[in-house]
Structure 1
């Protein structure tokens, strides 16, 4: 019985602390950003969430999914699918609403292919990680609102792949 009372007391004290911390205001004017990026770190596109840790430091995670079905030149049905997830740490330089952004992080991916022949079904799939980076311009209103990004977004694999990303979003 004592253990149950102690557990209830501990739970209540945790809830009270959580209620207090809910009303504490961060010193950061903008704390989060959501945006859709065309091309860029997510290959074709990505939907992203970004958390600002300090005025000039953020972390970001995004995702992109793609699937395509068709017929090969040997009249086999085929399907290709992939999911990519860029995760990045970013550093922002600049004043007010206009900033330069520098970021680096891993790009996690999963790719699967399926081909169906009269005699057999072939499935090939795999996970991987590559390094990606970004360097570009960010319009980020200090008090939140519509955001814009334009960046150079290389992918570092066995060969160095070049890309650019264009993003629109909202910060709050």
Structure 2
């Protein structure tokens, strides 16, 4: 299974590099009038998938700063065989570097989610499902296609994840095998 993840990650990175090398030389920096975007992300900072809204809040020359927030629901099987859907909120800040349509995108985020864990009830010695808070920090290095005047929006990125256990005293972990792709519209 690890070989399959490594191959998929390598394929995404080669694709992103090929697109960036294929980009035409851009001679002058264009001011973005379409600073908003709505898009679907699969993988990436959302963990699985999310619908996101992003906004370019600063631009100067080739550099643009972007913030995004999203929403998703993760399916969770409970101990009593019932299915529950728990919310996920990915937040991200990225810097875009490029003159016109093609950009290098780098940044980080914070993704919070709810999940269930088993809790032992000491009076009855039964296990019960308990909803717990979880979070991870996604990092991003990737390619972003976005026209200054708006329209089709696309990005692909390498997004390793730093997982940390809030309030549980557990160990932090690093997952270097993660990537994501996004499609949407900027306006």
After TM superposition, the score normalised by the length of structure 2 is 0.66
Distance 2:158 2:141 in 1: 5
For CA contacts below 8 A with separation 6 or more, give which structure has more relative contact order.
2
Contact kept in structure 2, 1:80 and 1:111, CA below 8 Å: no
Q: Which region of structure 1 is more displaced relative to structure 2, 79-88 or 129-138?
A: 79-88
Contact kept in structure 1, 2:54 and 2:68, CA below 8 Å: yes
Q: Could you give the per-residue CA deviations for residues 23-74 of structure 1, whole angstroms, max 9, x where no partner exists?
A: xxxx74121001001111111111100011023001100122122448x7xx
Q: Which runs of 5+ in 1 are unaligned?
A: 1-26, 115-119
Q: Which region of structure 1 is more displaced relative to structure 2, 85-94 or 127-136?
A: 127-136
Distance 1:77 1:171 in 2: 41
Q: Which runs of 5+ in 2 are unaligned?
A: 1-30, 119-125, 164-171
Distance 1:154 1:122 in 2: 33
Match for residue 160 of structure 1 among 148, 170, 174? 174
Contact kept in structure 2, 1:50 and 1:58, CA below 8 Å: yes
Match for residue 81 of structure 2 among 59, 63, 77? 77
Contact kept in structure 1, 2:45 and 2:92, CA below 8 Å: no
> Counterpart in 1 of 2:73?
65
Match for residue 141 of structure 2 among 135, 147, 151? 135
Distance 1:68 1:110 in 2: 10
Structure 1 position 80, deviation (Å): 5.1
Q: Which region of structure 1 is more displaced relative to structure 2, 127-136 or 33-42?
A: 127-136
Match for residue 89 of structure 1 among 93, 104, 107? 93
Over 4 Å off, 4+ runs? none
Rg larger in structure: 1
> Counterpart in 1 of 2:39?
35
